[in-house]
Amino acid sequence: VTGHIDHGKTSLVGRLTGIDTDTHPEEKRRGITIDLGFASFSVGEHTFACIDAPGHQKYIGNLLAGVSAVDIGLLVVACDQGIQAQTLEHAAILQTLDVPQLVVALSRVDLTSDQRQAEVTEELQVFLSDYGFDEFPVIPISNVTGEGIDALKQTLVDAASRPRPAAATELEPYFRMPIDRVLNVPGRGLVVAGTVWSGEVRVGDSLQIVGQPDNLRVREIEVHGDMVDYSQAGKRTAINLAGQLSAPAKRGDELVTPNRCHTSRQLLVEVEVVARAPNLRCPVTAQLHTATSACAARLTGQDALQPGERSILVVEPEQPLLVARGQACLFRLPYPVGSIAGGHVLLGLSDELPKRKKRELVQLGQQLASAGPADRIESWVQCWGEWQIDWAWCGPNLGLSTDDIHMAEQSLKEREDVLQVGDRLVSRGLIQRTEAHVLRSLMTRAQVQEDDWAIRDSIAERASAIASPAVVRHAIDDLIGRQQLVELNGRLAIASEKTLLSKKQRAKMEQLIKLFDDNRKPPTAKEAMTQLAITQEAVDSLIRHATHSRVLTDLGSGFYVGTDVLTTLCGELRRLLEQQGALSVAAIRDGWQVTRKHAIPLLEFCDSQGITVRQQDTRIAGPNLDAWADASGELV
């Protein structure tokens, strides 16, 4: 119940319900409503919960906490005074908060003539059309004589009988109730009240106040003054809670299912600037009202806000807020005082998401505001590059029903710009950027280190800064499949004449690698030629390719060893030398479990690389032993 100060709102609620909602001593002393008042009445099968909202401009913030979730706006206009400043602002608030139906109660008709009633009714039709209310009943009433009260009740019944638009939060999978009243009742303890936005609650359930870790038990539930065991979305509900809180409960808090919701410090909001608002340049700080919360917020994303225009804004509240797609919000200025815009949340962004420029967020908001189900999901994926599929998240965050999600899932499979990689949806653009990063890394390595080959895991780790491991793997596999990369035994190189092998060579290379794989006593080049039944020239070409790609290490004199095997041998050698300090050839040979034929070329190579230092007939640790022992194949 809204309207200008002293136009008879509280008296009308008293007439309808028999309850005086002005309970605050200051309200009694001054004769005005300061805070929200609550009362209910029934007509047949319909029960109406009345929220008596303050009319004075100073207490608009309290009004906003009450009209966050209502089905019918009852605007009271005194016939003797007509339309006043708060009449129009309240109409703007009802419009921007998407109150679906408006009923006007033309009060104090006992003090005016029929002509005056007709004049005010005509003025209302002209002025309220500016706020989107083109058709609404105007019921003349008198709170003194009771004239028109029965007609008003019937009008409210007719309005309540019409199909009710789906609530903005109906897709939230958890219980949610913004708190607009907090009481500490003697003998019962904490009681919080509000309108249930989503889900259901039963006696004995555990609930949580957003931002507090404590679980509270539902001791009692009251709906319209009756004690019940259960309440659900759309019901005006009071809940008696048992348990300890870290901080006192207050208006603006939200009561929710534990551990099922996340707050946001950055919102995308589609707003309509009030027709009578001043021209404003962004960024601008305004008071944000949504659900029962009120806080300062910074508005960005546009250069300016023009009266009557629709815009996508990036809104950064000073405190984290729980929001859902479609949730109504209002923005007011402290000076000059007044509402400047209202709108609906398109998305609440979590702190875990990568930062994006404001223009990218505005573009995302524009797509979310008008796109169909599959396009909404695709625009989300395109903005962030990749998304770990969570279809349940799409309901409250993207405003999609179960049927919408099923259709979107099928549609996305047919699209070229979004691919499914494992449990993720990935934009083709991110895959292309990842592939370009991999190619640049290999080109840089070839130029700086004069080495065409790099370990796959090392390249993948460098690319992890721009994409998840699954996307990086997909990008590398895609490059290999398109023959832009060559992979050999876990090592990658850009495809070129130097790195490419023919199909026949690849088959022989696989056979060659098997001869050396995990083999401490591998064949010499001549022995490999015999075992593979190929020519000397062919085996030399394959070995040259294998050593260049660092699959094999050339020990000299026709001896080769698998690079991974060499790393293992160096690790074992380090442990042996740590125990004894200096070792003979025989001791190293026995420790390695190799023959003297293999031990001698291995040790000569170690001497040449500074892995060991020869002292007469023994070896001690060289300066490069640790580097080779810890190399895991990536030798320096």
- Give me the mean pLDDT over the 314-339 stretch: 85
Which pLDDT does position 336 carry in this prediction?
Answer: 61
More confident residue, 512 or 93: 512
- Over 90: is that where the pLDDT of 471 sits? yes
pLDDT confidence bin for 61, thresholds 50/70/90: very low
- Give me the mean pLDDT over the 510-535 stretch: 90
- Over 60: is that where the pLDDT of 571 sits? yes
Residue 278 sits at φ, ψ, to 5 deg, of -75, 160
Report the distance separating Cα 264 and Cα 255, nearest Å: 16
Give the closest residue to 178 by CA, choosing from 317, 39, 57, 67: 67
- Over 70: is that where the pLDDT of 41 sits? yes
- Over 90: is that where the pLDDT of 265 sits? yes
- For 108-152, the DSSP string reads -GGGS-HHHHHHHHHHHHHHHGGGT-----EEE--TTT-TTHHHH
Which pLDDT does position 62 carry in this prediction?
Answer: 45
Which pLDDT does position 233 carry in this prediction?
Answer: 85
With pLDDT > 70 as the criterion, what percentage of the chain qualifies? 89
- Over 60: is that where the pLDDT of 57 sits? no
Lowest mean pLDDT among 22-31, 77-86, 186-195: 22-31
pTM for the structure as a whole: 0.69
- Over 90: is that where the pLDDT of 127 sits? no
pLDDT tens-digit series, residues 184-224: 888 888 999 888 888 999 999 999 999 898 899 999 999 87
- Over 60: is that where the pLDDT of 555 sits? yes
Report the distance separating Cα 391 and Cα 357, nearest Å: 26
The position carrying tokens 């129009």 is 88
Q: What's CA 496's distance to the chain center, in Å?
A: 44
pLDDT tens-digit series, residues 360-376: 999 999 999 888 899 99
- Give me the mean pLDDT over the 622-627 stretch: 92
- Give me the mean pLDDT over the 24-34 stretch: 35
The 3 state secondary structure assigned to 366-398 is HHHHHCCHHHHHHHHHHHHCEEECCHHHHHHHH
- Over 60: is that where the pLDDT of 424 sits? yes
Which pLDDT does position 479 carry in this prediction?
Answer: 93
Amino acid at 68: S
In this structure, the strands spanning 72-78 and 2-3 are: parallel
Which pLDDT does position 635 carry in this prediction?
Answer: 35
- Give me the mean pLDDT over the 239-254 stretch: 91
Q: What is the mean pLDDT of the chain?
A: 84
